[in-house]
Structure 1
Amino acid sequence: MDGPASLAGVELTALRNVRLLDGTLADLDLAAGEITVVRPVEGGPGTDATGWRLVPGAGEPHAHLDKALSAELITPGPRAGNDLVAAIEQWRALVPTLTAADFADRARRAVHRYVANGITTIRTHADALLAGDPLRGVDALLGLREELRGVVTLQVCLLAGQDVPDAVIEDAIGRGIDVLGGCPHLAEEPAKETSRILDHAERSGLPVDLHTDEQTTTHHLDLADLAEQVIARGLQQQVTASHCVRLGMLDHDRRRPVVDLVAKAGIGIVTLPITNLYLQGRDADGAVPRGLTALRALLDAGVPVAAGADNLRDPFNPVGRADPFETTSLLVAAGHLRPAEALAAVTTTTRTVLGLPAAGTGPGSRADFLLVPDVPLDEVVAGARTARVVVHGGRVLADTRVSTVLDLDPMPR
């Protein structure tokens, strides 16, 4: 793979001498979008991957493509940045000016960034809007899902607040959304709002992904209520709780029974470090909370924990690179995960939480993976290098190579 020629658009049938996650070198055969053979290096025809390491396909388990790249459209507020409430207010003020075409354009540009960085599976939340056609953003993302089908795996999750009528939710289900979502922690009666969304899920059979406990107060945990309702109803579909900030604020004695409930209910958790580090803790005068969930306790209990970035350059997060390795570095630095745990959170566990089969992990798995320069795993997780080759279903979607020239000769005195 050395040299200037790009692999973009190439359908790979074989990779030779590639480094796997466990450090071994291997030859891979690919066919019909899957990895069919993984064996010790034998050589033979195929793409020479010497000097490259294979990482399982990365995913973004919690995006907001309807909001992505809207920061430039926002009139800055009086403070240096937003908390959650201020971000919601800014977004709602902008919504009446946005058309379906605008939603589609920004979402498409955001997806291009994700793909270039190795993310080819995305679950995006889409607001049921409170001004104009409530589903114009949803429709834009459903259209983008079809436009990119076979290239990017895109799941569209309706984000319905308490003010969204049941009829709008049913309409969205009829239009073909993939997942039902909501934000009970912002409702006047959180448990009642959770019940409402789960009622729709039971009738439709759709999986559920709720914004949960995105606050640092600990008087009540919607996560515990969600787990109890899932168990009581015997829900069989995938249920995900995103954010779960309050859980990370609890001491061991209060946290343990909630974690046990979550494990019993089979709920997957999504943590979103960059956005919650930005939004949470702005009212703290000291000992500012990090805004992350109880990562270690959840992992130790066997709960699947995926990780993503959440918002991308919008009122809820004005920064971000749409890069899985930005998330892994934050999981290590702010979440105290081991590098291998951080990598799993943005790759294999993301697919588990999204209800997708394994990818890029061995024979029979989907040929979704990325190739990064063959450096130690810790360096990959710490931020990787810009150079990477992105493969989805055996097809190279993006090929980025970087050349750096240094001149470090001492300056003449």
Structure 2
Amino acid sequence: MTKPSVDLAHLPSGYVLGNVRAPAYLLDASPGAADAEGLTRLDITIADGRVAALTPPGAASAGLPRLDLGGRLILPGLVDIHTHLDKGFIWKRAPNPDGSFAGALAAADADRRANWHAEDVRRRMDFALRCAFAHGTVAIRTHLDSIGPQTAISWPVFGDMRERWRDRIALQAVALTPIDLVLDDAEFTPLVEAVRTHQGVLGAVTYMSPGLQDGLDRIFAAAEHHGLDLDFHVDESADPAARSLALIAETALRRRFGGRILTGHCCSIARQTETEVDRTLDMAAQAGIGVVSLPMCNLYLQDRVGGRTPRWRGVTLLHEMKARGIEVMVASDNARDPFYAYGDLDLVETWREAARIAHLDHPFADWPSIIARTPAGRMGLRAGTLSVGAAADLSIFSARSLNELLARPQADRTVLRQGKAIDTTPPDYAELDELMERRNG
């Protein structure tokens, strides 16, 4: 199917996108019945950069220019709730030597110490945001390495970027530090202050260390005292003995924590017994914990042994969690850095791969919400839905069904921001060549 002959960038302030399809679950009010894939056919009236009406095909207000899109699929602005904008696009100067988790940690740590001055972080963060913007993303939560002097470097850069991008991408930040360092006043005090100053989220990498419970209690206490939400990197391991998700849930229930809690990765639970799985997921559901899976990064790092084909996918138990009412999401995670050598902050790619890897189909049902409505809610944002009065931030695809959408990369999508088409060309990698000439050590 060819693209519409009308240039969306030069349409008047009011017009109708006619005869389109959208996931019914991403509509605040569906104007018609959904098909077997959960898609509804409708017209979308756009006026002054906002959605003015959602109506059955042909029922939109007369007198406005109407572009019949022949049943093309439309998605609302996408929401990427787990990224690392401070690490992104360092692969050329800091490749992972063997693709392992240990190799990623060592390479990223060395690069941070050698190169992450303010201008380096700013330029790479801006590059990443331009990638995401070109692909149709409207909101991003990024983890920021908050270790030693890096806390005082990256958080002000983030604050500046959030202001520069506030009319294009809504940004949130999470402090990322090993759970053991939460017990170190010299590390934790400036970290909390940075989070408070920049209206961020408290977080940590949790693993089965002797200080895990003390660290959890301290970070929960700080979140309670300052009214902050929590976002953890959890059990990013193949070891079935890694059970910090259960400890986070236990801590939240014991303390009756009232804020939002998000946990990322949660890989090891897929290696545990059914009894342990049931106990942990029941507690997580009771505590209102959300889970974000990072399928591409976890496939890249987990179960990697030289010369051996991986035996498992590293993806958490999305179906079992969702069945208990746990909110589940997927996100980009890393992009061209030691933790994931590939990626471009394209949430359609992330969803496509997640659907294939974790069988998020047969039926598709409400799975499209995992890159839109659900993460938006976790971030406290009005985004990820098609609703009257919302900004006309949409992606239009050649595909007419979810099957067609997930079968191809969709590089030819049209992205609208406030009702006008944007340039969807991602930035050129060559822009960062000067930064990549530096070496670590």
- TM-score, normalised with respect to structure 2: 0.82
CA change 1:358–1:58 in 2 (3 A) is: closer
Shift of 1:390: 2.2
Runs of 4+ in 1 over 6 A off after TM superposition: none
Q: 1:326 aligns with which of 349, 356, 367?
A: 349
How has the CA–CA distance of structure 1 residues 89 and 395 changed in structure 2, closer, same or farther, with 3 Å as cutoff? same
Aligned residue for 2:293?
271
SS at match of 1:107: helix
One-letter amino acid of the counterpart of residue 350, structure 2:
T
- Change over 3 Å in CA distance of 1:187–1:108 after alignment to 2: farther
Which amino acid is the alignment partner of residue 273 of structure 1? P
The corresponding residue for 1:119 is 137
**Over aligned residues, Cα RMSD in angstroms?**
2.6
The answer to whether the Cα contact below 8 Å between 1:69 and 1:314 also exists between their aligned partners in 2 is: yes
**Which amino acid in the other structure matches residue 345 of structure 1?**
I
2:428 paired residue number: none
Do the aligned partners of 2:96 and 2:103 also contact (CA within 8 Å) in 1?
no
> Displacement of 1:344 after TM fit?
2.0
CA distance in 1 between counterparts of 2:217 and 2:170 reads 29
Q: 1:289, CA displacement in angstroms?
A: 2.0
Alignment partner, residue 50 of structure 1: 69
**The residue matched to 1:126 in structure 2 has which SS?**
strand
SS at 2:126's partner residue? Answer: helix
The answer to whether the 8 A contact 2:151-2:194 is kept is: no
Tell me whether 1:185 sits opposite 2:207 in the alignment: yes
* Native 8 Å contact 1:128 1:158 kept in 2: yes
Match of 1:144 in 2: 161
Q: 2 CA distance for matches of 1:177 and 1:279? A: 32
Tell me if the contact between 2:243 and 2:268 (Cα under 8 Å) persists in the aligned partners.
yes
Change (3 A) 1:237 1:364: farther
2:208–2:244 contact (8 Å) kept in structure 1: no
Contact 1:55 1:369 in 2 (8 A): yes
The farther-off stretch of 331-340 and 310-319 is 331-340
**What amino acid maps onto 1:88 in structure 2?**
L
CA distance in structure 2 between the partners assigned to 1:147 and 1:377 by the alignment: 34
- How high is the sequence identity, in percent, across the aligned residues? 26
Q: How does the TM-score come out when normalised to structure 1? A: 0.88
Counterparts of 2:384 and 2:52, CA distance in 1: 12
Q: Cα deviation per residue 1:97-128 (whole Å; 9 max; x = unaligned)? A: 22101101011111111111111211110011
Say whether the 8 Å CA contact 2:95–2:338 is kept in structure 1.
no
Q: 1:335 to 1:11 in 2, by over 3 A?
A: farther
Matched with 1:239 is 261
The residue aligned with 2:5 is 3
Name the counterpart of 2:18. 17
Q: Secondary structure at the match of 1:163?
A: helix
Q: Is 2:387 the counterpart of 1:362?
A: yes
- Assess if the C-alpha contact under 8 Å between 1:277 and 1:290 holds in 2: yes
1:409 paired residue number: none
SS in 1 for 2:329: strand
> SS at 2:263's partner residue?
strand
* Alpha-carbon displacement from aligned partner over 1:52-84 (angstroms, at most 9, x marks no partner): 32112212110000000011111552x3x2x22
* Alignment match, 1:406: none
* Long gaps (5+) in structure 2: 23-33, 426-441
Q: Per the alignment, do residues 174 and 265 of structure 1 end up closer, same or farther by CA in structure 2, a change over 3 Å counting?
A: closer
User: How many pairs does the alignment contain?
Assistant: 396
